[in-house]
Amino acid sequence: MLKHLGLVAGLIGLATSFSVSAHAEVDTVRIAKQYGISYLPLTMMEEEKLLEKHAKAEGIDLKVEWLRFSAGTGMNEALLSGNLDFAGGGVGPMLTIWGKTQTNYKVKGVAALNAMPLYLVTTNPNVKTIKDFTEKDKIALPAVKTSIQAITLQMAAEKIFGPGESHKLDSLTVSMGHPDALATMLGGHSEIDAHFGSAPFQEQELKDPRAHLVLNSYDVLGGPHTFNSVWATTKFVESNPKVMKAFLGALEEAMADIKADPAKAAAIWVKAENSKVSVPDAEKIIRDPVNEWTTTPKKVLSYLDYMNRAGLVSAKTSDWKDIYFDGIHKANGS
């Protein structure tokens, strides 16, 4: 009888250990970001080890690996192949993968990283509006047709040239990372004479007397909009609730730190990126009222509406909460 009880107890213990291991969360997460000060909240998380701190509070000794991509397309491929857990990029690539994975991976946004304007800048003195671009001009942006800059340019073209003309300027666009685009355009030895970029590259460009602003994305969208978000697969989110809680906690702490001490945040970013931007200039960008450090999605549905009309995303919704996981559903998003 005692032997029997011992066997039963052993089986129960074995089953329990299997159950625990089956529900064990990851001990390593891989997070991707791109170039620019718009990724400051993620830089703060990395440099201050905020995710490790919040994971520790959840009872997890978490190792965090940080990866760098120049565009959202590569991140999406890495995410679906299982080589990435959190992707950080523009709204365009996020909505694209959200739409394509409705029946399998079910990728959704985790949180927004900011609301920031994107500037289309050129060194061509003859270009005052996007109507003035000709086949002699080339516009650098992170990824043709899919990046948030490319989508915004299409939305602007539709407004200027009329319905059905949203792709009118696509043939002028060239895929290029922001640092290279800045150097190439200002170098003046290339056909690339325009760059649809982001902070701090656009601010650096506008300091050059040859450069001027052609288009502001806030004008296209009718106000502040989310530039960057973080997204992940449903499988990862559902399998790692403590990691998710830690991630959101770390992100909110990063946002609070940026707002509390912009000068410190600027210094951290400049050092981490080995940036040529001075700390005072970086601080000026961080403090600029047009740049909002928030996890709340803004005008994401406006982007989706256009992408639906343009046939870029087939999945539709009128509720932003369908696009993001429930960790931020209490926010007043749009």
Q: In CATH, what number is assigned to the domain containing residue 127?
A: 3.40.190.10
How confident is the prediction along the chain (334 residues), in pLDDT tens digits per residue?
A: 434 444 444 444 444 443 333 468 999 999 999 888 999 999 999 999 999 999 999 999 999 999 988 777 888 999 999 999 999 999 999 999 999 999 999 999 999 999 999 999 999 999 999 999 999 999 999 889 888 999 999 999 999 999 999 999 999 999 998 889 999 999 988 899 999 999 999 999 999 999 999 999 999 999 999 999 999 999 999 999 999 999 999 999 999 999 999 999 999 999 999 998 999 999 999 999 999 999 999 999 999 999 999 999 999 999 999 999 999 999 999 9
What's the pLDDT score for residue 18? 39
- Alpha carbon distance 306, 220 (integer Å): 12
Same domain, 189 and 232: no
Residue that finishes a domain, picked among 173, 197, 221: 221
The three-class DSSP label of residue 109 is strand
- Alpha carbon distance 225, 116 (integer Å): 7
Residue 67 per-residue DSSP state? E
Same domain, 322 and 243: yes
- Residue 18 within any structural domain of the chain: no
Same domain, 190 and 232: no
Residue that finishes a domain, picked among 193, 221, 249: 221
Task: Confirm if 228 and 198 have CB atoms less than 8 A apart.
Answer: no
The three-class DSSP label of residue 139 is strand
The three-class DSSP label of residue 88 is strand
Same domain, 125 and 188: yes
- Residue 287 within any structural domain of the chain: yes
CA–centroid distance for 107 within its chain? 14
Same domain, 283 and 240: yes
- Residue 197 within any structural domain of the chain: yes
Same domain, 72 and 144: no
Dihedral sign, Cα of residue 298, residue 97, residue 121, residue 135: negative
Same domain, 230 and 324: yes
Same domain, 313 and 165: no
- Alpha carbon distance 315, 161 (integer Å): 26
What's the pLDDT score for residue 2? 38
Same domain, 242 and 314: yes
Residue that finishes a domain, picked among 177, 196, 221: 221
What's the pLDDT score for residue 15? 42
- Residue 5 within any structural domain of the chain: no
How many folded domains does the chain comprise?
A: 2
Same domain, 107 and 127: no
Domain that holds residue 216: 119-221
**What does the chain come to in residues?**
334
- Alpha carbon distance 24, 18 (integer Å): 10
- Cα dihedral 172/176/177/182 (nearest 10): -60
- Residue 13 within any structural domain of the chain: no
Same domain, 259 and 310: yes
